[in-house]
Structures are given as structure tokens and as C-alpha cells.
Amino acid sequence: DAKTTQPTSMDCAEGRAANLPCNHSTISGNEYVYWYRQIHSQGPQYIIHGLKNNETNEMASLIITEDRKSSTLILPHATLRDTAVYYCNTMGSGSGNTGKLIFGQGTTLQVKP
């Protein structure tokens, strides 16, 4: 099961920033936070991951709190194509890690014109 909690749904106006929260209060020291999204009828798509420092790539920014118990995914200028289910989870980086993804219910983000 996913070890995170996310709001079930959120709305965002097109062109505005979308801020998606994720709670991972039981995260352990060697676990990364990762985000994927799934647009309707498509396979999941990797967005970003991070350990403790904030991360940014061409898709999004990831802000992780200092205690690492929560994080926020930021889509700086949401477009209609960003409407999707967004999944957050944690995964260890040790040698026993198989990399299998576990998704909870995620947050359904609806970007509105």
C-alpha cells in the first residue's frame, strides 16, 4: 500500500500554479519522494523525485519540508493538458529496492479554462 496521503481532488485555473500536497509522515531516512501522473487512458508518466532538497525540472518543482514529512508538487503554469491523476509515494534507495511503483488513490487535478 502507498505510505502517503493526498487530497482526493483539486481544481486549478489554467495558467495558474497548481500546488499538490502529499503527506508522508512515516518516511525513513533513505527514502525518496517520487511523483507520477496518469492522464486519462494513458500509461503513468514520471514527473520528479527528491530526497530532501527542493528539485526542479522542465515539468515541475518539488518542495520537501525540512522534516521531510510532507511535500508539494508545483506545476508553475497549469494547462488543460495537465488534467490528470497525480500520485505521490516514497521509495527506499537501498540495494534491496526493486523499484516497483506503488500508487495510492492519488489526487485528481482538474485544470479549468
Partner 1 sequence: GAGVSQSPSNKVTEKGKDVELRCDPISGHTALYWYRQSLGQGLEFLIYFQGNSAPDKSGLPSDRFSAERTGGSVSTLTIQRTQQEDSAVYLCASSLGARYYEQYFGPGTRLTVT
Query: At closest approach, how far in Å is the CB of 81 from partner 1?
Result: 17
Antiparallel, parallel or unpaired: β 31-38 and 45-50? antiparallel
Smaller CB distance to partner 1: residue 99 or 113? 99
Query: At closest approach, how far in Å is the CB of 79 from partner 1?
Result: 21
Query: At closest approach, how far in Å is the CB of 44 from partner 1?
Result: 5
Smaller CB distance to partner 1: residue 40 or 81? 40
Q: Is 32 helix (H, G, I), strand (E, B) or coil?
A: strand
Residue 89 C-alpha cell reads as 509515494
Query: At closest approach, how far in Å is the CB of 64 from partner 1?
Result: 14
Smaller CB distance to partner 1: residue 17 or 101? 101
Distance CA 57, CA 10 (A): 22
- The residue ranges that bind partner 1 (CB under 8 A) are 32, 34, 42-46, 49, 87, 91, 93, 97-106
* Sign for the pseudo-dihedral over CA of 64, 10, 14, 38: positive
Contact partners, residue 26, CB within 8 Å, separation at least 6:
3
Smaller CB distance to partner 1: residue 18 or 35? 35
